[in-house]
Amino acid sequence: MTALRRVGVLLMFLAIGPLAGIGRADPVQDTMKQWLADTASQSTIAPGTTITTANWQQYKQYMPVGMITLFQGSYFWKMPSDVQIPIGPTVMHPLPRNYVAASEKYGAQTRVLHNSDGTMGMSNYIAGMPFPNPEEPDKGYKILANLWFPGGPYLSVLSTESGLASFCTADRFGNSACTRTSVVYRQLAYNWAPGLPRTDPQASGAWFSEWLMVEQPEQSRYTADLTLFWQDLGKMEDSYVFVPALRRSLRLSTSARCAPLFGSDMVHDDQRVGYNGGLSLFDAAYLGTRKIIALTDLTNADGAWPGNYDMPLGWSKPSWGPWSLREVDLIDVRRVPSQQQGYCYGSKIMYVDHQFYHQLWEEVYDANMKLWKIVHIGLQPASLSAGEEEAPYGGGIIETYWDLQNDHVSHVFTANADGKTDGLRFNKNVPAQYDNVTRYSTPGGLMLIMR
């Protein structure tokens, strides 16, 4: 090959190389485009219908991709032969009136920011739902922001007095184990609830804190995890763990955000609304709106683990309550390009309830865009304290993570010792000792454990 010809080939390569990259197939996007096409014709499902393995294909246009995958049975985790999904009427539980009022008052002024390094952000956010009527441009990111700032309780507690949270795991061989924890979740800024300052005087720059401590098994007792989410949306969350053997707390490195939480299939970045790391570090493509069957009126878990699950899959039993059709917005959540290197997830498809903006289902893909986890989220409305209405979620939750690549499953739920999902306490109904910002929302509070 002559020198001139080599130069010509090199110039051609440089010319078409970037275009070839842009045209590269995206298996996640391809999957969702096909699903949207397959579910384009939707009407309704009559209450009283029960979906089983015999008739599921009649209703698959109302099933998220992951549920269809479980019914198809192409992985180790598959629907049991006796599965029953009872369908009831769709019930609309309104958001708390003070949250709605704050959304109406401040929502019109909130703006999406595009930073020079490719990260995202918001300006002028005060309280309530940042974008009450999300539209393009940046519709997917606006929906993501609505998830980030929810309309549930400002203080949620699970304790030995009322009931504990559970992280229960199982593998393909039937081995199972449970870790039970106490929990204190607190909103520290952007408050909208009556009687609260907009920002807690002890917030120290945080807007939300999550505190969990192992109560069982005994050999792991007092191990605690604290995560702080910052008002500066470009700042990654800070995570701390208290190690009983050392009698001290350690600040976790940023790489630990992909580490399992209490040995489950949930990682640190699955906490809160299914992604962490600072809202600015993610973007979300809006894919469309559909109706799916979901479990949003969870009544009880009736022996949550290992009792009333349809094993080995770990599917819910009809006694948990009826499923219903919910309109959802689909978003494809990914780290912005500058933050993707070394991150555990390549994409997370979220099915977000169109009324109250909480995800009901997820499909999680690894860095190579291969399907990794299927996530189902069952919700229970919350009865807030006197003077506040019921919230459409926050009263109890059951999350199931099916790891398709490792044949592992985790159930994370708030059912208390007798199996009823009423262990959570909210706001002013929280026992006084847990309404303590220093103890449960600061790194220094971890040092008070075991004293």
For the chain, which residues make up each domain, given as ranges? 144-446
The whole-number pLDDT of residue 451 equals 80
Answer whether 209's CB lies under 8 Å from 227's CB: yes
Burial of 436 (0-12, 13-18, 19+ CB in 10 A): middle
Q: What whole-number distance in Å separates Cα of residue 105 and Cα of residue 97?
A: 12
- Output the pLDDT for position 301: 52
For the structural domain made of 144-446, what CATH number should be given?
2.50.20.10
Please tell me whether residue 63 adopts helix, strand or coil conformation: coil
pLDDT for the residue 277: 53
Token digits for 238? 């800070």
Q: Distance between CA 131 and CA 139 in Å, rounded? A: 9
Which pLDDT value is given to residue 357?
95
How far apart are the C-alpha atoms of 311 and 333, rounded to whole Å? 31
Contact assessment for residue 301 and residue 398, using Cβ atoms and an 8 Å cutoff: yes
Q: What is the pLDDT along the chain (451 residues), one digit of tens a residue?
A: 444 444 343 333 333 333 333 346 899 999 999 999 999 999 999 999 999 999 999 999 999 999 999 999 999 999 989 999 999 999 999 999 999 999 999 999 999 999 999 999 999 999 999 999 999 999 999 999 999 999 989 999 999 988 888 888 899 998 888 899 999 999 999 999 989 999 999 999 999 999 999 999 999 999 999 999 999 988 888 999 999 999 999 998 776 778 777 778 887 777 654 444 568 888 999 999 999 999 999 876 554 544 556 666 878 888 888 999 999 999 999 999 988 888 889 999 999 999 999 999 999 999 999 999 999 999 988 877 656 667 898 888 888 999 999 999 998 888 765 666 678 888 988 999 999 999 999 999 999 999 8
Output the pLDDT for position 421: 62
Question: Model pTM greater than 0.85?
Answer: yes
Write the CB contacts of 286 (distance below 8 Å, at least 6 apart in sequence).
Answer: 136, 139, 140, 143, 329, 330, 331
